[in-house]
Structure 1
Amino acid sequence: MPSHLVLTVIAKDRPGLVERLAEAIADAGGNWVESSMARLGGEFAGIVSVDIDEEAIGNLHQKFDVLLKDGIAITLRSDKARPEPLKGAAAHLDLISQDHPGILRRITRVLREHGVSIEHLETEVVPGSMSGEMLFKASADLRLPEGLSPAALSEFVQETAADMMADVNLID
């Protein structure tokens, strides 16, 4: 019976990490379905979705034990079936603000209060092009619950953005 696994991986960044992970999954009979990976603060971090026969999961654990000995930490969550695709409208949010603590907390609170799921999120702090002041930037792909339009969500987000003097653009 096929199982659906989601694993996280973190290790000191170096060439060949993704290849070693892909090789372990393939050698155990797994199928790499989707992933998101990045270099953050000198570390390599990723999340991977894998389909694999239930009988092969033990073999996959053995492959991961070998990687762990080489400093590649992997955590695993499993489910028997793939989750159902989310329903509702898709939207994209871009935010830019002078950097200060709590920006992401305030925006994500608005999203949670309206039942919005974050499908993908990237953030960074960069120097401003004119002033050199540090700017917080966020980019997120969102899934809105049925019944909530991107226009309505934009109004809720803009209220919070105005309080923080942030520039927020929400597009569907």
Structure 2
Amino acid sequence: METVLAVVFTALMVAFLGLHFLSMPANFLIMGMLVLWKFMYPAQSADMNTMFFVITGGLVLLGEALEFGSQLMGAKKYGGSKKGNLGGIIGAICGAIIGAPFFLGLGALVGALGGAYAGCLIFEIAHGRNMSESMTAAKGAFYGKFLGMSIKFGIGVFVVVYGASHIWN
């Protein structure tokens, strides 16, 4: 029975990686699966100690911080202001929510990226920047959001592999 549950847990963790494309907190759900496994099989998962959860939890939080920070740095590198960055963040959140019902949920990814661009653009224009500068800053917000999402996905893949190696020891 433990082998069947190990297969199910591993498959669910891999499936949760797909939630990144819906702009959902996939890495936190993966982390929750690892905690649940430890709770269900404490004797078999003795190597899932405090350090294991500090490492995986730290990576999950790092992924969130890098996603957020890369969007900020992307817009800043391309000349975005603090207000433009705020617009990019608000736009990414709103875009993900608005886009979620489309394309079987993949619209959230498109919405988050487009929202980062549009939000930054709108806030930059609203605060007196010309169209060319605003579009350049918005392009930076878009690139930064894409980079951040990619980094967070990569960290999620690592956490799944690292966690599965402890489940299947």
The TM-score with structure 1 as length reference comes to 0.28
Whose relative contact order is higher, 1 or 2, with alpha carbons under 8 Å and at least 6 apart? 2
The TM-score with structure 2 as length reference comes to 0.29
Which of the two has higher C-alpha Rg? 1
> Which structure dedicates a bigger proportion of its chain to strand?
1
